[in-house]
């Protein structure tokens, strides 16, 4: 790895840390705008994600080697973190080269004193080794340090799910999962797509979550004609379950109240064979436009995406207008930490409380728009009960015309019907169980 690439990694880490930018978007923009070669792009991605994912663990390793009370500039601490990450978790570059490059960056960005500090800390770690975590006796703190999740979040999940589930969730968030895609069935069959991908050297398998789903364990789908020409679109398997379980039929009128980035709404259009009508909304004009772009790429014509607040849709649509409604509510995102590790450091308990209120408000305002005997699906990409089970309980308590549709549980695939996350309120998918995002979904019926 060149020193220029290490500088790029450091800049990206600092921007994600200080600006709360989404790691996947910044990395993607950097690689495309500077046309970074594929081999270097892989290492850059690994270093940025790895350092972010292990930030608290790396700080634990650094702590004994930093002078107590001495203030260190953010860029110096980040340089130390990314250097220790390489020394502890990667074997592609020898320690002496990692230390040399870190010292050179410290000289260029700072001065000889900072370079000496960086050199001293890293050489001490090289000589004495990493501090053992087995010395931490309190279980929540140990999980927090070993898996780099804030201790308040670990304690929150332990209260909700117990130690073992919490530990498995945190460990899963440090791993990678395969990319999953959904075929556009009006353009290509799943078998046809699998054959074409295998011919190009991809390792793929069928998804058990959707007859349209394919899981890719080797190969970059974004560079294929299949993706560019709209024969497949990227979507997590858990997200595909929404279209499969919404009980859709041709010519229905459907509302997707919080639609961006558009994966679920385009799947709904495919399940309806591009017949009927789907109204899709998002708070932001740009995102609504991106939904239309996605629909166009997939050759889907029944989606009408516009900007609006889901809590104000009674101003646009009459009561009882829709056969089906999807509320994929704005949430904390604590189920997608594996792909966006910065989320676990940026969210607070107060954020979750505010989001739970927004989720309830959306449900409350949208509920009148469903026809009698219609179905409303509520989903989030979080594992937090305050945003999932408790929002469902509160909604049902204030809307006696609604109940959880028991047919929802009967229609789940067999492997999910008795899975760990089943409750009276719906289905919670944990990130470790089926190698999907952490995802919650349930279906209401209007009496």
Pairing of strands 426-429, 322-328: unpaired
Is 301 within 8 Å of 263 (Cβ atoms)? no
- Say what angle helices 23-33 and 3-19 make with each other, to 10 degrees: 140
Q: Which helix (H) or strand (E) holds 427?
A: strand 426-429
Residue 264, marked binder: yes
Q: What is the DSSP letter of 224?
A: S
Q: Give backbone dihedrals phi and psi of 178, rounded to 5 degrees, phi first.
A: -65, 160
Instruction: Give the integer Cα–Cα distance in Å for 196 and 249.
Output: 30
Residue 309 among known ligand-binding residues: yes
- 259 annotated to a ligand binding site: yes
Tokens at 289, concatenated = 């436009």
* 213 labeled part of a ligand binding site: no
State yes or no: 19 annotated in a binding site: no
In angstroms, the Cα distances linking 187 to 11, 270, 367 are 42, 10, 35
Q: What one-character DSSP code corresponds to residue 253?
A: E
**If DSSP codes are grouped into helix, strand and coil, which group holds residue 220?**
coil
The H-or-E segment that residue 406 falls in is helix 406-411
Euclidean distance between CA atoms 343 and 352, whole angstroms: 12
- The annotation status of 110 as a binding-site residue, yes or no, is no
| 263 has binding-site annotation | yes
* Residue 28 burial (C-beta neighbours within 10 Å; 0-12, 13-18, 19+): middle
**Token duo for residue 72:** 């260190």
Which are the catalytic amino acids? Answer: 381
Give SS3 for 99: helix
* Cα-to-chain-centroid distance, residue 87: 27
Establish whether 328 is an annotated binding residue.
yes
Is 170 marked as a binding-site residue?
no
Residue numbers in the known binding site are 258-264, 282, 309, 328
Residue numbers in the known binding site for S-adenosyl-L-methionine are 258-264, 282, 309, 328
């Amino acid at each position: 790895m060149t020193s220029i690439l290490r500088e790029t990694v450091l800049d990206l880490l600092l921007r994600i840390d200080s600006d709360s930018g989404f790691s996947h978007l910044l990395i993607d923009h950097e690689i495309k705008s500077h046309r970074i070669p594929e081999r270097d792009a892989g290492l850059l991605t690994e270093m940025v994600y790895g350092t972010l994912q292990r930030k608290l663990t790396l700080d634990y390793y650094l702590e004994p080697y930093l002078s107590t009370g001495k203030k260190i500039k953010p860029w110096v601490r980040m340089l130390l973190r990314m250097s220790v990450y390489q020394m502890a978790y990667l074997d592609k570059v020898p320690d002496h080269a990692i230390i040399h490059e870190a010292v050179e960056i410290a000289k260029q960005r700072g001065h000889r004193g900072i370079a000496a500090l960086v050199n001293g800390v890293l050489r001490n770690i090289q000589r004495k080794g990493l501090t053992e975590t087995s010395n931490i006796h309190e279980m929540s703190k140990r999980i927090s340090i070993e898996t780099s999740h804030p201790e308040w979040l670990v304690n929150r999940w332990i209260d909700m799910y117990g130690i073992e589930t919490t530990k498995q969730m945190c460990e899963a968030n440090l791993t990678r999962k395969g990319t999953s895609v959904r075929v556009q069935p009006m353009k290509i069959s799943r078998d046809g797509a699998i054959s074409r991908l295998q011919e190009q050297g991809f390792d793929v398998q069928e998804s058990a979550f959707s007859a349209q789903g394919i899981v890719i364990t080797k190969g970059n789908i974004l560079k294929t004609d299949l993706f560019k020409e709209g024969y497949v679109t990227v979507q997590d398997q858990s997200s595909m379950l929404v279209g499969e379980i919404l009980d859709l039929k041709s010519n229905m009128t459907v509302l997707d109240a919080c639609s961006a980035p558009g994966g679920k709404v385009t799947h709904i259009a495919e399940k309806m064979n591009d017949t009927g009508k789907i109204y899709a909304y998002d708070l932001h004009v740009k995102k609504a436009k991106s939904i239309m772009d996605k629909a166009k790429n997939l050759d889907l014509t029944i989606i009408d995406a516009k900007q609006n607040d889901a809590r104000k849709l009674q101003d646009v649509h009459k009561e009882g207008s829709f056969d089906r409604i999807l509320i994929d509510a704005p949430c904390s995102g604590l189920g997608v930490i594996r792909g966006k590790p910065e989320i676990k450091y940026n969210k607070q308990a107060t954020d979750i409380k505010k989001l739970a209120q927004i989720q309830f408000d959306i449900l409350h305002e949208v509920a009148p728009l469903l026809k009698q005997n219609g179905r409303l699906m509520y989903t989030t990409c979080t594992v937090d009960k305050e945003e999932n089970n408790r929002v469902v309980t509160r909604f049902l308590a204030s809307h006696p015309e609604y109940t959880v549709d028991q047919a929802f549980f009967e229609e789940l695939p067999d492997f999910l019907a008795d899975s760990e996350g089943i409750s009276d309120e719906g289905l919670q998918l944990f990130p470790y169980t089926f190698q999907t995002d952490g995802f919650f979904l349930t279906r209401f019926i209007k009496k």
